Structures are given as C-alpha cells and as structure tokens.
Amino acid sequence: MPLEYIDHYNVVTTDAAASAKFYVDVLGLRIGDRPPFPFPGAWVYAADKPVLHLIERDKIPEGTGRVDHVAFRCTGYGEIKGRLEAAGVDYDERVVPKFNLTQLFLQSPDGLKLELTFSEEAVAAG
C-alpha cells in the first residue's frame, strides 16, 4: 500500500493551551474535535483537517533532533505577516526565485521551527 500524504504532526508541550493559542491567534488555524484521550492536549485544524496534535506533558522528552522544521503552504501573506508582527513573533523571510515562492521561518512557543510558504500569486494578493 503506497503512502499518500502526511496526515498530521504531533508536538509534545508543557502547555497545550498556550501552544494552541499561538496556532489559532497567530497562524489563523482553529481548535477542533479531539478524541477523549486520558491525557490533556488539543487538535489544531487547517480547514477541515486536523494537521497538528498537541500533547501536554509535565516535561518534554528528549527527541531525535532529526526533524528540522514543519512547513505549511499558505495564502493570506499580508494577513499572516501582520499577525506575526502584532504578536511580536520574529521571522526570517526568504525568496526562492526558481520556484517563485516566499517563505517565512519562525519558532512556535515550543521551539519548533515552522515554515510558511506562499506562492507568487499569494504574495501579490497581499
């Protein structure tokens, strides 16, 4: 059976509510339904898909350190830049000329590097 796509990613955090607030308030995602697991957490949705699972733990376990960042394809370039600036979130903007993409790199409250990628059309639309 071939793989189709990445379904979601999971982040361990010491404060699921604060992490969820960042993804909602700054990136414009939303909190959605989550199964009644016996531990705290949240599922964060992009449109109707749960793309991020937050799991709250008292301490963050050591990881492999192999994942460099998680990337989202985005629209609303001007809106997202405004949200980042209003929230005081530092970001690094890079242009990929061969593919006509603009990327914003930033850190989540949990220290996860995020990439927000915009097409040339999305940047032009603002």
Give the domain CATH number at 47: 3.10.180.10
Q: Is 75 exposed, middle or buried (0-12, 13-18, 19+ CB in 10 A)?
A: middle
Query: Per the structure, how many domains does the chain have?
Result: 1
Residue 42 placed within a domain: yes
Asked whether residue 119 is assigned to any structural domain, the reply reads yes
76 has a pLDDT exceeding 90: yes
What is the Cα–Cα distance from 7 to 51, expressed in whole angstroms? 7
User: Residue 2 falls within a domain, yes or no?
Assistant: no
Residue 51 resides in a domain: yes
Give mean pLDDT, residues 97-116: 94
- Indicate whether 4 belongs to any domain: no
Considering the domain boundaries, does residue 24 fall inside one? yes
Q: Is 23 exposed, middle or buried (0-12, 13-18, 19+ CB in 10 A)?
A: buried
User: What global pTM score does this model have?
Assistant: 0.87
pLDDT score, position 108: 93
Q: pLDDT of 23-70, one tens digit each?
A: 999 999 999 999 999 999 999 999 999 999 999 999 887 876 778 899
pLDDT recorded at residue 6: 86
The span from the CA of 113 to the CA of 108, in Å, is: 6
Model confidence at 1: pLDDT above 60: no
Domain that includes residue 94, residue range: 9-59+68-125
Give mean pLDDT, residues 91-114.
Answer: 94
User: Is 35 part of a structural domain of the chain?
Assistant: yes
111 Cα distance to chain centroid:
11
Q: Could you tell me which of 46, 49, 52, 73 has the C-alpha nearest to residue 9?
A: 52
Whole-number pLDDT of residue 5: 79
**How do beta strands 91-96 and 101-107 pair?**
antiparallel
